[in-house]
Structure 1
Amino acid sequence: MEVRLPPYHDHAEHDPEERGRPDWRAKIASWMYWYARRKHQEQRHYEDWNDSWQCIGAQGLPGDLTWEGFMAAHSGRRQGIANTRPLELMTRSDGTLLLPRAYTELLDRWEQVTEHVIARARICSRCRAQGPRWGAWRTPTPLGYVTLCPPCSGAIFQRYTGHLRGVLYESARTRSTRADGYLCRLCSETRATAWDHCHDHGHVRGPLCGSCNTYEGKSTPQSFLKNQEGAALHLLECRGCLERRTLPARYHAALAQMHVEARERHITRSRRCKHVPWIEHVELTHGAYRFKLSCWWHKATWTKDITIAETAALVREFVDQTLAAEQADVTVPAPRHPASDTTVEA
């Protein structure tokens, strides 16, 4: 059966409802577009890069990609679809990509079954509202996972109000208080599963669901601070961090790195490069975080040191800004007095 490649679509252009939708044809095409782009960029200087690799070329493949080159580049990779490997069954004849009909029917059936399962998992078990596509409403219970929308979760589980702030994680008070009676403090959408705590000072920070708790513990500190709403304030729920105006030690290098990414640039021909450098390595040496940076566009490498004292100042500045922003959010100005036209802050 002939396999027609769908046109290239940038990930950012996809409708949120379409992202991640099971589509075996688009998946195979994404592999080819990726190799076509890599070939295009390897053969040209970065100033000559363009979008020609997105167009289907004379070979019936994206850009200048050839079937032989694609298969050679893909050799040894274990990329698959529905626990199968379509490229091992794919052939090419006169510019046409072919797969066995029975196999394409199997993949079509896989798409249908997967969509059916996802559709059922999106429905709130209480009010029957339809949730987001990828399981944000999935909530653990003693009998397994169920789907609950945020309003229904809020009606069942209570919100955490900080009553364990300053309490040690290992205390009897924490052990006697179940975390799964609360909403997750970060996402506020699903049932909490555990008490998150600061590993530096031992204080409870709040109840988190399994997903948010894993994200805080396993993701990179940069990712957690940048992508998780309320991340910094959650870390400051630890009384030790709050009183010292600091964050856990593993976040110090992350803030130094964020500072380097924002400020450090390669200088070429007396001009400041506009590209963010790639940080290849960071190590703590001689009282400083040493960052090894590279500018891919100019083939340059260099190092940048941020001392422990400078890092501590960056951390404190970040904490002060976070607390100031929180204070600004909760401060509501009073209406202007009609006679004096002055503002009295509440």
Structure 2
Amino acid sequence: MAQISPKLAHTYFTEFSAGSAVPLDLDDLLNMRHLRRHNHVVIGDVALRCYKNKSKWTYDERDIRRAAQEFADFSLDADDVVEVQLPAYRDHNGQDPEGRGRADWRGQIAAWLFWQAREKHNEGRPYEEWDDSWKRIGASGLPGALTWDEFVAARSGERLRENIANTRPLELMTFAGGSLFVPRAYAELLDRWEQVEEDLVARARICKGCAAGGPRWGGWRTPSPLGYVTLCPPCSGAAFQQYTGHLRGVLYDSPRVRGIRADDYLCRLCAETRATAWDHCHDHGFVRGPLCGSCNTFEGKSSPRSFLERQDGAVLHLLECRGCLEQRTLPGRYHVGIAERHLEATEYHRHRGRSCRRQRWVRHVELAHGAHRFELDCWWHSQKWTKDVTVPETLALVRDFVDQALAPAQLEAAVPAARAAADTTPSA
């Protein structure tokens, strides 16, 4: 089996599929966006297995050549079309959690149309005039007041958002008489894509250790030297060690850290998948603990507020850094986010003589002259105002935030200590 790099696979596929009747978008051969989901890249109805060797992902050259040739030979009659029956609009909260993200090409096209109809409806209108009329099918046969030409023009630059099965459906879609049409062969190709994706996801949900069925979207998927494998939390707990804090206070670049493999441990945050790296504080240099790739990326690249608010144990994990703990602080990149939370909870504007208690949007504008400037926006009343928080005030907010996070942990630690002291106290 000849292994080739993603870049070479992209080059070969582009060359061998030249002239394909199906417009292709092959960036996923490079990005491999769904590796964690099922270890494959799916182009049309062809699943290409991704292989991992020495920490690098590769493809089998024969798979690439074979799949590309299938698209080069794909026959498509532009005159043999079928009408696309689009599903009705559904709010995100009204969807089945298991169904979110499911391969559904008709639903994806419908979502694009409804999104664009909402954008057109709301553009230039104050928030008070927004309504749900864009959800209804209009006289043109499209949602709201949207026209087909407006939709195509608006979506022309959205390559990733118009991609389905690594193909570009808008180039094959036509709209006439209030109905949407695509070539029959292409519709059948996308139907097969849905089934291929469903089969891959179903197989990837099964725990390798006990054969139990796991979450749909990769919650049990853990990296290994050969790619992602599925292990339930009990099987992961049996396969990998629990981190007990034995590197607390150790510098990340010390020989001791380099001599201990992070992937021998469970991720300290999610506690469900194998760790891949030692996370550390970039402000002080101390190790915080082992994290899986997903949690490590989330800590480093998500917005600070997202990490603090959506990840259980996030603050205590950051405080595994001895420098942060002793100084009762957090890394500098989190300071603005904590100030934003404070302003959302305390800052209000006046509307008709009363304090507006609606949700506010807060945006950090700049740091100048020793103060952080924030812009606050109440969409309900179209009110905007600014608020300055000095650097010392920000540091005080961070310290209060840390103390609040530590309080439950300190109380939890104090209870066993108090019981132990009571057990050793001589009776009167």
TM-score (norm 2): 0.74
Give me the whole-angstrom Cα distance separating, in 2, the residues matched to 1:282 and 1:113: 47
Aligned equivalents of 1:328, 1:56: Cα separation in 2: 57
Matched, 1:215 2:330: no
Match of 2:106 in 1: 25
* Structure 1 stretches of 4+ moved >6 Å: none
Does residue 317 in structure 1 map to residue 406 in structure 2?
Answer: no
> Are 1:57 and 2:138 counterparts?
yes
Matched, 1:232 2:232: no
- Larger RCO (CA within 8 A; separation ≥ 6): 2
Given candidates 263, 268, 272, the residue that maps to 1:189 is: 272
Cα pair 1:266 1:277 within 8 Å, conserved: no
Q: How does 1:90-109 map to 2 (within 5 A)?
A: 90-109=173-192
SS at match of 1:284: strand
Does residue 77 in structure 1 map to residue 158 in structure 2? yes
Rounded Cα–Cα distance in structure 2 between residues aligned with 1:52 and 1:142 = 52
Q: Is 2:324 the partner of 1:241?
A: yes
Q: 1:108 to 1:329 in 2, by over 3 A?
A: farther
Cα deviation for residue 297 of structure 1 reads 4.1
Residues 52, 332 of structure 1: CA spacing in aligned structure 2 closer, same or farther, 3 A cutoff?
farther
1:200 to 1:45, Cα distance in 2 relative to 1, 3 A: closer
Give me the CA root mean square deviation: 1.8
- 2:121 — aligned with what? 40
Whether 2:133 is the aligned partner of 1:66: answer: no
Normalised TM-score (structure 1): 0.91
Listed as ranges, the matches of 1:268-279 within 5 Å are 268-279=351-362
Q: Please report how far the alpha carbon of residue 114 of structure 1 lies from its aligned counterpart in structure 2 after TM superposition.
A: 1.0
In the alignment, structure 1 residue 15 sits paired with structure 2 residue 96 = yes
Q: 1:177 aligns to what?
A: 260
Partner of 2:346: 263
What is the number of equivalent residue pairs in this alignment? 333
* Displacement of 1:330: 5.5
Indicate which of 294, 297, 308 corresponds to 2:391.
308
Residue 365 of structure 2: SS of its match in structure 1?
strand
Structure 1: how far apart are the matches of 2:322 and 2:312?
20
**2:385 aligns to what SS in structure 1?**
strand
Name structure 2 gaps, 5 residues minimum. 1-81, 417-428
Deviation per CA, 1:177-211, whole angstroms, max 9, x where unpaired?
Answer: 22111100000001111111111111111111111
Could you tell me how far apart the structure 2 residues matched to 1:47 and 1:143 are? 54
Q: Which residue of 1 aligns with 2:242?
A: 159
In the alignment, the residues of structure 1 paired with residue 279 and residue 316 of structure 2 have an alpha-carbon distance, to the nearest angstrom, of: 13
**Displacement of 1:303 after TM fit?**
1.8
Counterpart residue type for residue 156 of structure 1: A
Aligned match of 2:230: 147
Residue segments in structure 1 that go unaligned for 5+ positions in a row: 334-346
* Deviation of the 1:47 alpha carbon: 2.2
User: How much does 1:75 deviate?
Assistant: 3.2
How much does 1:103 deviate?
Answer: 0.8
